[in-house]
Amino acid sequence: MSKTDLRNVMTNTPWDARLAALIVRPLCNSWVTPNHLTTLRLVTGLGAALCFGSGEWLNLAAWLWVMSTFLDHTDGELARMSGKQSRGGHFYDLVTDAVATIGLFIGIGWGLTSSHLGEWTPLMGGVAGIAIAIIFHFRNEIEQQSGKVATKQPGFAGFEPEDTLYLLPLITWLDGLILFLLAATLITPIIAIVVGWQYLTQPHKM
């Protein structure tokens, strides 16, 4: 990657992706592949889900998720900078994102069964998880039809809506997981409907 290309990456991408580009640049000519980083993203994401599901290791779970979220940017950056992009790697990345994120909310719901919401929390986590699976499906379909630009989320000052998940350590520290799960249960189905509507109303390739 030329210095000009690197400069474009650094000025047109979110802050976490900019940092990821700097970190993985030395790995371009190494034995490390994008799929290695994707697998590490999956392992840390599922580790976070299991820790949340235990209902005890919440702070560890939150920091594992922060690590997993950041790693989600590293594989794509390495693939672009090293020329190791592939359809198989892209599909693996999409599946990993879906599995890790769905697992996160199911784990949070399972771990909160001892709260005052009781047996409702696994159901809430399941609703949020299913909604996220639908969102990932429709966003992938839109990307296949219209390109990655069509699925780009609105951002502000180098931050994107999904960056709110970086706040999980603060949420667990403030004992706010119940409110977080409640908000996710209410908001993610709405987003799924919106993204589904975008898919249904966009021009489709024949």
pLDDT in tens, 50-62: 999 998 899 999 9
Q: 91 in a domain, yes or no?
A: yes
Predicted pLDDT at 119: 83
CATH code of the domain in which 90 resides:
1.20.120.1760
Q: 52 in a domain, yes or no?
A: yes
Rounded Cα distance between 95 and 107, Å, is: 18
Predicted pLDDT at 160: 60
How many C-beta neighbours within 10 Å does residue 174 have?
11
Q: 206 in a domain, yes or no?
A: no
**For residue 9, what pLDDT band results from cuts at 50, 70 and 90?**
very low
Q: 90 in a domain, yes or no?
A: yes
Q: Which amino acid does the sequence have at 198?
A: Q
Give the structural domain span for 125.
Answer: 3-201
Q: What percent of the chain has pLDDT over 90?
A: 42
Q: Please give the residue that has the higher pLDDT: either 196 or 11.
A: 196
**For residue 64, what pLDDT band results from cuts at 50, 70 and 90?**
very high
Q: 190 in a domain, yes or no?
A: yes
pLDDT in tens, 129-170: 899 889 888 888 887 777 655 555 554 445 565 667 788 999
Rounded Cα distance between 52 and 97, Å, is: 17
Average pLDDT, the chain: 83
Predicted pLDDT at 12: 57
pLDDT in tens, 190-201: 999 998 998 888
Q: How many domains does the chain have?
A: 1
